[in-house]
Amino acid sequence: MPQLDFGNPLLIAQIVWLLIIFGFLYYVLSTYALPRVESVLEARRVRIASDLEAAQAAKLEADAAMAAHREATGRARAEAQAAIAGALQQAQAEAQARTDALNARLASQVAEAEARIAASRDSAMGALRQVASDTAESLVAKLTGRADRGAVDAAVGRVLSARGQG
């Protein structure tokens, strides 16, 4: 092989030029090319970190909304039960002649309270479903660049129905 001909007087010149060219390429890459690559990687890392923080904030908001919904449902249920208990005590204290009229009034109050509870629950679940769909669609769009609204709604519906909330 002619490259390994150590008796050749041009071998030293070739090695010197190899070191000069290698040093020049190393300088150009370390000065210009690699800092640009590093800045692109850093920008990408920052964007991913901010997207993850936004996702965490959205999850916390959804959790807070769910807790508020559970609290409101519990309060409404407690108020309805308190109203029923008070009405029952009043019905027992009154005369037998007024018992039938009082029972009819209590039944309508219970139905109205249950209707309010059901409407409140349905409204909150609808809002939760919308928030979950919007959040999931936003996250999918940020992570992949596009999001299919129908597929996101279907996925959110499956998750909510699997949890017994849809």
Cα(130)–Cα(138) distance, integer angstroms:
12
**What predicted TM-score, i.e. pTM, was given to this entire model?**
0.34
Phi/psi at 8 (5° precision): -75, 130
pLDDT in tens, 44-80: 999 999 999 999 999 999 999 999 999 999 999 999 9
Instruction: Classify 141 as helix, strand or coil.
Output: helix
Question: What percentage of the chain carries pLDDT values higher than 70?
Answer: 96
| Segment of 11-25, 135-149, 152-166 carrying the highest mean pLDDT | 11-25
Q: Which of 117, 121, 123, 128 is nearest to 64 (CA)?
A: 128
Phi/psi at 2 (5° precision): -70, -20
